[in-house]
Amino acid sequence: MFRIRFHGRGGQGMKTASRILGSAFFMAGYEVQDAPRYGAERRGAPIFAYVRAARSTINERGIINHPDLVVVADDTLVGMPAAGVTQGMDENTLLLINSHESAQTWGQRLNTRARILILAAQEEVEDRAELPYIGSRCAAAAAALTRVISREFLIAALNEELAHLNDEVIKGNRDIALVVFDEMATQADLVNEGVQASASDYVRPKWIDLPFERAEISNIAIHAAATSVKVRTGLWRTMRPVINYDKCSGCSWICSTYCPDGAINVRDDGYPEIDYEHCKGCLICVAQCPPHAIESIAEQVARGQENGATP
Ligand code: SF4
Ligand code: SF4
């Protein structure tokens, strides 16, 4: 059975990638599961989707813990623990990263036994949530690496899953997906199909007796205040708002009120300050600031500047 996980950000089309790959497997005669997992998805938030495909009935359910192939659409997620990209990878896993950097560089960065392959990233775009055609590129790469899906089935799956789009967009996705499919079909580093667990090997978990507790102890309830502050929504950000204090007139009630996440604090001197741990990068503040004192810059560029890179 093939177990494949796609990782990306909300808006990058990982759900669509899993559907395209799932449909292509189905056309090739496989039993298939494909499902996205994104909880409270918002644009830019780390999400994943997965595909299982087997020649016989699939008895496994739930998320894939031990993937044969992990496809990463956005390389800024690889080192992010909350994204869970490296979860369950071992020497049987092939990690395919859409990146400008080499497999060797990623190998040095990651403490992993997985094999690493690069899907050459296209031209950098300012906002990573807008990576063009990335869902179709990832689906095509995965299809080629399994070596069991033909070009024809990939085209049919793309046409089926993108049928709601206009002809020009579908053609654009198809053209670029086929280029990736042909490139990946020449790779030697391929996906190894994992063994399917048999339902007859299933071992029931041991019964555990829990002592009876009073309802206020056994019933899970959160009584603490302000727990949402522990959710670091700042990692969803692909674009960063930056206040230019030379232009800022200090009308902080405007930007701090419009920010849906309460991520703009008002300093003692009356001027605003952005809490980047919780700013999710929606850029509403940029649109609302009357003297246009808030600029937006790509998160990658902002991080590079923090680390001393030349802008
Ligand atoms: S709305 Fe704009 S000008 Fe007013 S305080 Fe906020 S950043 Fe400054
Ligand atoms: S981009 Fe602006 S409005 Fe949106 S969360 Fe960040 S600070 Fe708030």
- Which is the closest atom of ligand 2 to the Cα of 282? 4
* Single-letter amino acid code for the residue at 161: E
* Domain encompassing residue 93: 2-197
Give the whole-angstrom CA distance, residue 111 versus residue 103: 13
On whether both 159 and 286 belong to a single domain, the answer is: no
Q: Is the residue at 282 inside a domain?
A: yes
Give the whole-angstrom CA distance, residue 245 versus residue 252: 12
Q: Is the residue at 290 inside a domain?
A: yes
Give the whole-angstrom CA distance, residue 68 versus residue 115: 10
Residue 263 is encoded by which pair of tokens? 């991520």
- The kind and range of the H/E element at 71 are strand 69-72
Global pTM reads 0.79
Q: What is the pLDDT of residues 98-112, one digit of tens each?
A: 999 999 999 999 988
Q: Is the residue at 281 inside a domain?
A: yes
Distance from Cα 235 to the centre of ligand 2, integer Å: 13
As for how many domains the chain has, the answer is 2
- When pLDDT is cut at 50, 70 and 90, the band that residue 309 belongs to is low
Given a cut of 50, whether residue 311 has pLDDT beyond it is no
Q: What is the pLDDT of residues 4-22, one digit of tens each?
A: 999 999 888 999 999 999 9
Give the whole-angstrom CA distance, residue 139 versus residue 14: 9
Give the whole-angstrom CA distance, residue 168 versus residue 105: 37
The best mutation among 229, 253, 259 to test binding of ligand 2, ranked by most ligand atoms within 8 Å of the C-beta, falls on 259
Angle at 124 between CA 123 and CA 125, to 5 degrees: 115
The best mutation among 244, 251, 292 to test binding of ligand 1, ranked by most ligand atoms within 8 Å of the C-beta, falls on 251
On whether both 244 and 187 belong to a single domain, the answer is: no
Q: Is the residue at 217 inside a domain?
A: no
Question: Any idea how long the chain is?
Answer: 311
Q: Is the residue at 203 inside a domain?
A: no
On whether both 254 and 142 belong to a single domain, the answer is: no
Are residues 119 and 133 in contact, defined by beta-carbon separation less than 8 angstroms?
no
- When pLDDT is cut at 50, 70 and 90, the band that residue 40 belongs to is low
On whether both 119 and 66 belong to a single domain, the answer is: yes
Phi, psi for residue 46 in degrees, rounded to 5: -65, 130
Q: Nearest-CA neighbor of 137 among 73, 185, 190, 45?
A: 73
CATH number for position 170? 3.40.920.10
Which ligand number lies closest to the CA of residue 288?
Answer: 1
Cβ–ligand 1 contact at 248 (below 6 Å): yes
On whether both 193 and 241 belong to a single domain, the answer is: no
Cβ–ligand 2 contact at 282 (below 6 Å): yes
Alpha helices per DSSP H over the chain: 14-27, 103-109, 134-146, 151-161, 167-185, 215-218, 252-258, 284-288, 299-306
- Which pLDDT does position 128 carry in this prediction? 67
Distance from Cα 279 to the centre of ligand 1, integer Å: 16
C-alpha 31 chain-centroid distance: 25
- Which pLDDT does position 38 carry in this prediction? 76
Are residues 73 and 238 in contact, defined by beta-carbon separation less than 8 angstroms?
no
On whether both 45 and 191 belong to a single domain, the answer is: yes
Q: Nearest-CA neighbor of 128 among 40, 17, 240?
A: 240
